[in-house]
Amino acid sequence: MIVSGAQGKSLNINPGKETIELALVDENDSEMASTNMDVETTSLLITLLDSGVISAENVNREFKREGIMLQKIKDVGTCFAGNGNRISIAILPADEKRTASILIGFHNENKHSSIIIKPKRAAYLSKILTKLVISNIE
């Protein structure tokens, strides 16, 4: 399963027997970063994604209705996936040219890669991961 983002990047979701792999690839399908998560870590990522989607939609609503702009990136949270890997979720501000977006960052020691996706895609990613976690439990 693939969720595409900005700048030609995409997230490949590869379910395993007891883990779920998220791989960030560029426009040439070259892997930029990947991490394997157990169901507990994936569940935390789902919660952070859902929270990020709600926050981003609130930022968009406040900007459109009241002109209130988020001035800097808003951190939602980080989950630790083992082997020194972590995934962070943040909200990028809205402005006159674009709506607020979700930044998903992959971090491993000194290597950092990220993808930017719209709130609807982040919600879709959350539902895909939820389905995979549920099927892993059954």
Six token digits for residue 125: 């990613």
Question: Roughly how many angstroms between the first and final C-alpha of the chain, as a whole number?
Answer: 20
Structural domains in the chain plus CATH codes: 2-137 (3.30.2450)
pLDDT digits (tens, 9 = 90+) for 47-62: 999 999 999 998 888 8
- pTM confidence score: 0.90
Inform me whether the pLDDT recorded for 67 exceeds 80. Answer: no
What is the per-residue pLDDT for 138? 64
pLDDT digits (tens, 9 = 90+) for 86-132: 999 999 987 777 788 999 999 988 889 999 999 999 999 999 999 99
Q: How far is CA 31 from CA 6, 16, 26, 37, 125, in A?
A: 16, 18, 7, 17, 19
Q: How far is CA 1 from CA 10, 11, 13, 84, 132, in A?
A: 10, 8, 5, 25, 11
